[in-house]
Structure 1
Amino acid sequence: RAFSRRQIVDQVRGESYTVTERIVDVQMVSLRKKLGNLGDWVETVRGVGYRFKET
């Protein structure tokens, strides 16, 4: 299941938090770097958001 950028922000910060979609993308890049090799488990779903890679 893919999660939209809005869904991710709502779960992390709450529905009243205002951000741009680009901020979510930047944070995902940072998260992937911190996860190292495991960062590949987070996939971008073009036009939708993000999901965990199915194994």
Structure 2
Amino acid sequence: MGSSAGGLVSYNLGFRRPDVFGMVGAFCPYFVVIDQDGRETWIGQFHKEKPPIRL
């Protein structure tokens, strides 16, 4: 569970490791990834399918 950037970390960990994290609490996450060039990409571009976790 996390808020702000911690919410984004919680979300990412849940989607990357559903075998470890079965539930995710993400409060006010910023669902954008900023690359080295300063471009923003919606995080949905990386996670296309929902794993078997509870959000």
Q: TM-score, normalised by structure 2?
A: 0.32
Q: Which has the higher contact order (CA 8 A, sep 6+)?
A: 1
Q: TM-score, normalised by structure 1?
A: 0.32
